[in-house]
Amino acid sequence: MDNTLNFIREKTRGFEPEIAVILGSGLGDYTKGLDGIEIPYGEIEGFMPSSVKGHKGSLFFGVIKNKKVVIMQGRFHFYEGYPMKSITFPVRVFKKLGVKDIIITNAAGALDLYHHPGELMLISDHINLTGTNPLIGKNDDDEGERFPDMSEVYSFQLRKIALEAARELNIDIKEGVYAATTGPSYETPAEVNMLKLMGADVVGMSTVPEAIVANWLKMRVLGISLISNYASGVFKNKLNHLEVIEAGKNASDKIKALLDLIIEKI
């Protein structure tokens, strides 16, 4: 951790971000045209290469709406074979750099016809179906408590700010429950029916590990899902990752405007 922090501080000349953003599949264009410092993951000790199409694989440090921000252009996934400690290592780094609030985005599949591809959804809660937890193992009491409360993983205050921003921009946005599975295979129709019975609204393969660790570190978390497709069985069509990438491109202007205004209001 110390080597990573020293390297980043040297590269960014002591830049101290207050807000972190994790960009999900197809959302990497958010930093396009912004001035800042970009560091490829391959240069940062403890950061893994991202093998997923639509994930650029670099850290961006810059100022957005007068706020100092660090942005992960792509994340690490459990299905890539990385352990949970590696997947959530960046969140711990962000906390050490001074980050207080983290915005975690993803692409997700809608489990019903109430949510539609192209729409955004604020995550109000999650269901962890990965079969593990990033806090398993020896606890670092200096970072967080052994048994952290999870009654409000996704900050009510940040969700209120996001809803206000969406209203000002005339962006239709709903709130709902995100179910996290391991992937990389998409869910079967039977699994989708099970998720609906459990109370989930959308399903994806990320976000929850980072959100758990951020909550453990006493950071405020805002989760935003871009609904990229309908999950298996909602319609008869088959799923592929290309539609996820395409959905991100189509919604890029809307997401950029919303993130900018949220960051300004935080």
Predicted local distance difference test score (pLDDT) of residue 52? 66
Which of 230, 226, 234 is closest to 29 using CA atoms? 226
Predicted local distance difference test score (pLDDT) of residue 113? 87
| 141's tokens | 């009491």
CA dihedral 23, 54, 204, 227 (to 10 degrees): 80
Q: What is the mean pLDDT of the chain?
A: 92
Non-local CB neighbours of 95 within 8 Å, separated by 6+ positions = 143, 214, 217, 219
| pTM exceeding 0.85 | yes
Pairwise CA distance, residues 7 & 43, whole Å: 9
Note the pLDDT tens digit of each residue in 64-85: 999 999 999 989 999 999 999 9
Non-local CB neighbours of 224 within 8 Å, separated by 6+ positions = 103, 104, 105, 106, 120, 121, 122, 123, 162, 255, 258
Residue range 223-250: mean pLDDT, rounded: 78
The packing angle between helices 208-216 and 89-97, to 10°, is: 40
Q: Are residues 124 and 156 in contact, defined by beta-carbon separation less than 8 angstroms?
A: no
Pairwise CA distance, residues 255 & 261, whole Å: 10
Predicted local distance difference test score (pLDDT) of residue 57? 87
Pairwise CA distance, residues 50 & 13, whole Å: 26
pLDDT for 188 beyond 90: yes
Q: Please name the helix (run of DSSP H) or strand (run of DSSP E) that holds residue 257, with its range, or none.
A: helix 252-265
Q: With bands split at pLDDT 50, 70 and 90, how would you rate the model's confidence at 42?
A: very high
Pairwise CA distance, residues 208 & 153, whole Å: 10
Predicted local distance difference test score (pLDDT) of residue 239? 67
Residue count of the chain: 266
Ranges 17-26, 139-148, 170-179: which has the least confidence: 17-26
Q: With bands split at pLDDT 50, 70 and 90, how would you rate the model's confidence at 172?
A: very high
Range list of H helices, 12-103? 84-87, 89-97
> Coil, helix or strand for 178?
strand
- Residues with catalytic roles: 25, 55, 77, 79-80, 107, 205-206, 229, 241
The neighbour count for residue 105, using CB atoms within 10 Å, is 27
Residue range 248-264: mean pLDDT, rounded: 88
Pairing type for strands 58-64 and 67-73 reads: antiparallel
Counting residues of the chain whose pLDDT is more than 90, the rounded percentage is 79
Note the pLDDT tens digit of each residue in 202-224: 999 999 999 999 999 999 999 99
Ranges 41-55, 142-156, 197-211: which has the least confidence: 41-55
Counting residues of the chain whose pLDDT is more than 70, the rounded percentage is 93
pLDDT for 189 beyond 80: yes
